[in-house]
Amino acid sequence: MILRDPDALLDAAREGSRVALARLLTYAESGGPRQRATAHLAYQSPPSYVIGLTGPPGAGKSTLTDRLLTTGLAVGSLGTPLDELAVLCVDPSSPFTGGAILGDRIRMQEHATNEHVFIRSMATRGHLGGLSLAVPDALRVLGAAGFPVALVETVGVGQMEVEIASAADTTVVVTNPGWGDAMQANKAGLLEVADVFVINKADRAGVRETRRDLEQMLDLGGERAWRPPVLETTASSGDGVERLWDVLVEHRAFQEESGELAQRRRDRTRTELARVLVVAMRARVNDLSGTSRYEELVGDLVSGLVDPYSAADELLGDV
């Protein structure tokens, strides 16, 4: 029997059905009444602890994520062994589930068949900004399904990617030796979201210069209770990955003890609600612009009987 009801699907997902979980995530992405019902359920459960990895294409995020899965499952989180981990691979630049995401799959192949790991890819569907609603919803679905920790890999370093990456509780910015060019454009944005910097491909030349650049940039950021550490990894061999995992656990503990996690989640919730409102308002505007009253007001505007602000006020009167 094929389940379609979000309630029943969530029960099945909690009992370990990956098929049910995958279907719920499809609902979360696709909009419509099922998306609403899924969100309604998902937001009633506590969220996963979300670790985001972001950085330019080719930086080694997928390879690193693959290593983190192994380490995370073995070492666990804050003294609690992890029975399962989820990964969301997000590619805002790709309209299809092709290219980069296929690469992610291959990079994480070792875990693709591991029953303790769930990997899901998301690419831009439909309207721009769709992902910035769909990713938080998908993460909540993972939380509701019972994953204590989820990893999110986001391609790119632009504002949009950074926005998605900031849906995480801990954000790792993955760089490489000679990182400067790729990230110059959005240095400030990256500095703002990074909790941890990783210089991956530390087996290559130029690590020292890159570290110096990053530390200088962090110096300019001033005093903070948590200064993002700059770590070095070689994801392809696994060097430095255990240290990275330890730092992720430390950052989580820091945030939980300082109250920063609760604050941060609240701030994020504020932003997410505003985004949902914008989408709802846009739909309302679309509806309004199809009414006869709208056309009448357009006529009045053309004739100079009304100004556009008063017309908008009138149209919005019953919002």
Nearest of 30, 29, 28, 9 to residue 20 by alpha carbon = 9
Distances (CA, A) of 194 to 60, 137, 218, 244, 275: 17, 22, 10, 14, 22
Q: Closest separation between CB of residue 117 and Mg ion, Å?
A: 16
- DSSP structure string for 177-233: TTTHHHHGGGHHHHHHH-SEEEEE-TTSTTHHHHHHHHHHHHHHT---SSPPPEEEE
Query: Based on CB atoms, which residue is closest to ligand GDP, 141 or 198?
Result: 198
Other beta carbons within 10 Å of 31:
16
Nearer to ligand GDP, 28 or 68 (CB): 68
DSSP strands (E only) in 44-203:
49-55, 85-91, 117-123, 149-155, 170-175, 196-200
Tell me which residues in 99-158 interact with ligand GDP (CB under 6 A). Answer: 103-104, 107
Site for ligand GDP in 16-55 (CB under 6 A): 55
Both tokens of residue 164? 């998605």
58 binds, among Mg ion, ligand GDP, none (CB under 5 to 8 A by kind): ligand GDP
DSSP 118: E
258: left (phi over 0), alpha (psi -120 to 50) or beta: alpha
Token reading at 95: 């309209």
Binding mask 64-103 for Mg ion (x = CB under 5 A): ----------------------------------------
Q: Is 72 in the site for ligand GDP (CB under 6 A)?
A: no
- Give the nearest distance from C-beta 100 to Mg ion in angstroms: 6
Is residue 62 part of the contact set for Mg ion (CB under 5 A)? yes
Q: Is 61 in the site for ligand GDP (CB under 6 A)?
A: yes
Site string for ligand GDP, 185-214 (x = CB under 6 A): ---------------xx-xx----------
Out of 159, 236, 263, 291, the residue judged to bind ligand GDP by CB under 6 A: 236
- Residue 171 sits in the site that holds ligand GDP (CB under 6 A): no
Rule CB under 6 A: which residues touch ligand GDP?
A: 55, 57-63, 103-104, 107, 200-201, 203-204, 234-236
